[in-house]
Structure 1
Amino acid sequence: MKSNFVVVGLVLATFFVISFITNVLGPIFPALIESFSIGLALAGFFPFAFFVAYGVMSIPAGLLVQHKGEKFVMLVAFILAACGSLLFALMPVFYVAMLALFFIGTAMAMLQVAINPLLRSSGGKQHFAVYSVAAQLLFGSAATLSPLVYQYFVASIADQTALGQQLSVLIPSNMVWLSMYWLFALLCIVMVIIVFYTKISAVERQDDETVAGFSQSLLLFKDPTVLHFFFAIVAYVALEQGIANSIGVFLTQYHQVSDYAASEVVSQFWLLLTVGCLLGILLLKLCDAQHVLMLFSLGALFCLLNAIFTTDPTWSMWAFAGCGFCLSIMWSVLFSLALNSVSHSHGAISGILCTGIVGGAIISPLIGLMANMVGSLQLAMLLLLIPLSYISSVGIWAKPLVRNHRINLFRLLFSQKTAKPQSFSKS
């Protein structure tokens, strides 16, 4: 199949926009608490409203893609995200914010379901792995950039630059973070125009690529392997978002780090999560995926405990950033192990696994509630050891039908040293 590079470019841009919007909650989390004058537990419902949409909408979005096509779903999703962003920007009230974030989360879930098969069909199946890595790198780049843009807006308003003066007209003085949602609305409107004028052919799916209905999906939940990996995805997203959303609040409370410096650490967290993917690719060519998963899980445990309990602010900031590096390969390894552990219904199972992104909705309210109960965010963040332990256990109990292809480096080096020079007979 001939590659459609225009559609590939559109899909990669969509990955960038999804990440840019999704991962802003971490850096603005302390500002949200201050602006709405709420506690950590109540603030946890901001990410809850966003990520619960994945649990509710992933399977319906898959069915909508099959009936209406990827282009229709992408248009609806970007329109919905633009409306949610404008609603948040124009009416920054707590309950309206919950509704707006649910709209935006729903849009992101719809886009995730639509663009993955579109990338595979438009780029060619034989190039899917390469484009998937490119998408992951763009996803991480956007997550790294989002806090930096927020810092720039904060500085512009504080210094009353030309941009800062324009933003001051649009947003209340104590809600600088709303500038990001004006930007999101503008981005989504631009994406609506681009998607509308881009020719996108419907994806032709094989039998094992179709998304099951509700009844079929419920039957798949009875498969122990599918259920165990569903909880693995729940655990990963809970761990990732739990750390990302806690960094700013933790550093400001325990180490008196400024909001500006804390958002920079969040940016470094996502940057190292992206860079770690490159090392992960190399390790996965040399080692078994389950062994790599356990190694990175141990690294995440070391970094997380140091970030929480060290008394040195600088070391805590570096340890939080290091957590991103150690989480880098987990999503890809868990997803691939899940699909390689079953021989059927891969499309339906992918939809179920994406539903596991709802894990991002669970952990922040739990950490906030625990912090209020025990009076310590340090102890509350130990809840993150539960999803981390489950992820590590996958390296022990997973039994994939197909294992990742590996290069035997020692055999390769040994064969090169012992290879005899080729002899040529005289004519």
Structure 2
Amino acid sequence: MGPLVVVTSLFFMWGFITCLNDILIPKLKGVFDLQHWQAMLIQTAFFGAYFIISLAYFLFSITKGDPIMKIGYKNGIIVGLVVAAVGCVLFLPAASLLSYGFFLLALFVLASGITILQIAANPYVAALGPPEGSSSRMNMTQALNSLGTTVAPLVGGYLIFDAAQGVGDASAESVKMPYLALAAALLVIVVIIKIARLPHIAGEGRIVADAGALKHRHLVLGIICIFMYVGGEVSIGSTLIGFLELPQIAGLAESEAKYYLAFFWGGAMVGRFFGAIGLAQFKNNSYKYLAIGAVALVAFLVIFSIYGLNLALIAVGLIVLNMLVLFLGRFIPSRTLGLYAASVIGLLLVTIFGEGQMAMWSVIAIGLFNSIMFPTIFDLAIKGLGAHTSQGSSLLVMAIVGGAIIPPLQGFVADVTSLQLSFLVPLACYLFIVYYGFFGSAPGASVKEELAY
């Protein structure tokens, strides 16, 4: 349990950092007077690093051997943390020079470090325990990732928008302190990881210099699925503040909309706790239901204490809907994934064609159903890869480039049609996730055998 707790802190940090992009987009859009698609280049720079670094990792691994398997998961995590800290520090000259290009470079370096972290940490968590509990462990660590994404809009929104109101809309000075603090926090975690006694996982130190991971059909489809999921989730999160500003939806100011962005990511956190409990192995299922009920009660009490009864009741209604879909999935990872994706499609249809509170809460509720998707897809895709697990992990992390491609596409559709209709773009992404959950995730024939058939 100790090593899992240490590694889980990484998931919180990169969740916090990733969600800060949703605050940077409206901030830098105003500072540099950007169009929607130009502002979305923030996500392109960030998630583009996932593709470029992971591709480089994969090409290196098939020629020289898997780097993470050579140096070990612990050292791989440390390298990722240091690179991410350097990226955070680069925000200082970017703000001083008032250069949008420099900001994009800083985001690329920062995301490069997080890419290395993802390659090392995700399969490490899956390996820290019995195989039948891997989906549950992945969901639990991703729940802490979602805690970071929940806190980020509140802390980042306050520091970048509220606390800097006197600085002026044309200044980027307000981004310096948050990212400098993040750099310091990442370096502190480096020290903790360095002195922590993390267990050696079987296979570390082994050199595998081939592309064997790509022979597995469920991995190849999983790569596409991760691309679609991350692209859909990031595009929704990136446009949520702008969507809530629309007069026919809520007409909120940026400083107020950030609280509802926290609801969106907070829903993902609560849903991942449900997933961690639901997909765990219990001797008696009644304990499972009690644990899920306890999480729901805590969520209600927290929301009630912060936001009051009305918002707490709305949140509980959405949580109950999420729980019903979870129970319908019978705690089977692939089935639950398919049902959650189908639920998101329904919510997006309301978002696109609805108005007012109904459309507003439909898009916010998507966070709850996004919850289990990334860890569950990742876990399903790397099952049975053996010595190629780390290589498969790099390919899945490379697919996070969906977050670089889909948001600008949605931004383009928003520019030529409307922001509301642009949600058709992520809707198409979730259609593939439905397919993967119900049909494409089962380990079976190799890609070569499938093509021959």
For residue 230 of structure 1, what is the aligned residue in structure 2? 223
2:233 is aligned with what amino acid?
E
Give 1:103's match in structure 2, choosing from 88, 109, 125. Answer: 109
For residue 70 of structure 2, what is the aligned residue in structure 1? 67
Q: Distance in 1 between matches of 2:336 and 2:228?
A: 17
Residue 377 of structure 1: SS of its match in structure 2? coil
Q: Distance in 1 between matches of 2:370 and 2:36?
A: 24
Give 2:46's match in structure 1, choosing from 30, 46, 50. Answer: 50
Where structure 1 has 5 or more consecutive residues not aligned to the other structure, the ranges are 161-167, 403-427
Residue 90 of structure 2: SS of its match in structure 1? helix
Change (3 A) 1:211 1:387: farther
**Identity of counterpart residues, as a percentage?**
26
Q: Distance in 2 between matches of 1:185 and 1:399?
A: 38
2:23 aligned with 1:36:
no
Q: Distance in 2 between matches of 1:98 and 1:173?
A: 16
Q: CA deviation at 1:108?
A: 0.3
For residue 190 of structure 2, what is the aligned residue in structure 1? 192
Change (3 A) 1:178 1:249: farther
1:261 is aligned with what amino acid?
E
1:304 is aligned with what amino acid?
L
Change (3 A) 1:183 1:256: farther
Residue 34 of structure 2: SS of its match in structure 1? coil
Q: Distance in 1 between matches of 2:137 and 2:333?
A: 20
Change (3 A) 1:50 1:88: same
Q: CA deviation at 1:201?
A: 5.2
Change (3 A) 1:26 1:134: same
Q: CA deviation at 1:306?
A: 2.0
Residue 192 of structure 2: SS of its match in structure 1? helix
1:273–1:327: 8 Å Cα contact kept in structure 2? yes
Q: CA deviation at 1:234?
A: 0.7
Change (3 A) 1:341 1:379: farther
Q: CA deviation at 1:177?
A: 4.0
Q: CA deviation at 1:157?
A: 3.6
2:352 is aligned with what amino acid?
I
2:342 is aligned with what amino acid?
L
Q: Distance in 2 between matches of 1:246 and 1:289?
A: 29
**Equivalences for 1:366-377 in 2 at 5 Å?**
366-372=409-415, 374-377=416-419
1:70–1:202: 8 Å Cα contact kept in structure 2? no
For residue 259 of structure 1, what is the aligned residue in structure 2? 254
Moved more, 297-306 or 45-54: 297-306
**Equivalences for 1:108-257 in 2 at 5 Å?**
108-119=114-125, 123-125=128-130, 131-153=137-159, 154-158=161-165, 173=171, 175-196=173-194, 198-200=195-197, 203-206=200-203, 212-213=208-209, 216-217=210-211, 220-221=213-214, 223-254=216-247, 255-257=250-252
TM-score, normalised with respect to structure 1: 0.79
Give 1:17's match in structure 2, choosing from 13, 16, 20. Answer: 13
For residue 26 of structure 1, what is the aligned residue in structure 2? 22
Moved more, 101-110 or 242-251: 242-251
Q: CA deviation at 1:212?
A: 4.9
Q: CA deviation at 1:107?
A: 0.3
Residue 221 of structure 1: SS of its match in structure 2? helix
For residue 88 of structure 1, what is the aligned residue in structure 2? 91
**Number of aligned positions between the proteins:** 381
1:193 is aligned with what amino acid?
V
Change (3 A) 1:211 1:44: farther
2:440 is aligned with what amino acid?
A
Change (3 A) 1:179 1:305: farther
